[in-house]
Amino acid sequence: MAIVLYGRSCDPVLQYFCHYLQQQESIVVFIDQDQLGTHITLDQVGWHWKQGPSLLHQDIVSVFNRSASLHPAISYPMAQQQYHMRAWSWLDYECPMVLNRPRFMMSNTSKPYQSLRVRSCGLSMPRYACLANVRMIATDEPLIAKSISAVRSVVGPYVHKAGDSVQEPVLFQARILGDNVRVHVIGAMVVAIRIRSSAVDYRYAEDVDYTCIKLPDAIRQSCIDISQELGLPFCGIDLIYYDSAYYFLEANPAPGYNAFERHIQGNPISQALYGLMQPGV
Among 10, 53, 58, 133, binds another protein (CB under 8 A): 133
Strands 134-135 and 165-166: antiparallel
Q: Which long-range contacts (CB under 8 A, 24 or more apart) does 17-22 make?
A: 17/64, 17/258, 17/270, 17/273, 20/267, 20/270, 20/274, 21/274
Give the residue among 211, 239, 216, 279 at the shortest CA–CA distance from 62.
279
Give the integer Cα–Cα distance in Å for 222 and 273. Answer: 20
Beta bridge partners of 99: 64
Of the candidate residues 112, 178, 187, 256, the single one contacting another protein (CB under 8 A): 112
String of contacts with another protein for each residue 160-189, x by CB under 8 A = -------xxxx-------------------
CB of 44 to another protein, least distance (A): 7
Residue 265 binds another protein, judged by CB under 8 A: no
Query: Residue 90 CB, nearest distance to another protein (Å)?
Result: 7
Contact flag: residue 51 with another protein (CB under 8 A):
no
Q: Are strands 2-7 and 60-65 parallel, antiparallel or unpaired?
A: parallel
- As measured in angstroms, the least distance from the Cβ of 91 to another protein is 8
Distance of closest approach, residue 159 Cβ to another protein, in angstroms = 19
- Secondary structure of 146-173 in the HEC alphabet? EECECCCCCCEEECCCCCCEECCCEEEE
CB 184 to another protein: min, Å: 22
Compare residues 92 and 179 and give the one whose CB is closer to another protein. 92
Answer yes or no: are the C-beta atoms of 31 and 5 closer than 8 Å: yes
> Applying CB under 8 A, does 82 fall inside the site for another protein?
yes
**Strand pairing report for 165-166 and 170-174:** unpaired
What is the DSSP annotation of 54-103?
Answer: EEEGGGEEEEEE---PPPTTS---HHHHHHHHHHHHIIIII-S-EES-GG
Out of 1, 68, 130, 188, name the contact with another protein by CB under 8 A.
130
- Between residues 90 and 260, which has the closer beta carbon with respect to another protein? 90
Closest CB 172 distance from another protein, rounded Å: 10
Query: Could you tell me how many residues of this chain bind another protein (CB under 8 A)?
Result: 45
* Residue from 9, 41, 124, 197 binding another protein (CB under 8 A): 41
Q: Is residue 1 a contact residue for another protein (CB under 8 A)?
A: no
Interface positions with another protein (CB under 8 A): 41-44, 69, 72-73, 78, 82, 85-86, 88-94, 102-104, 106-107, 109-113, 116-117, 129-134, 147-151, 167-170
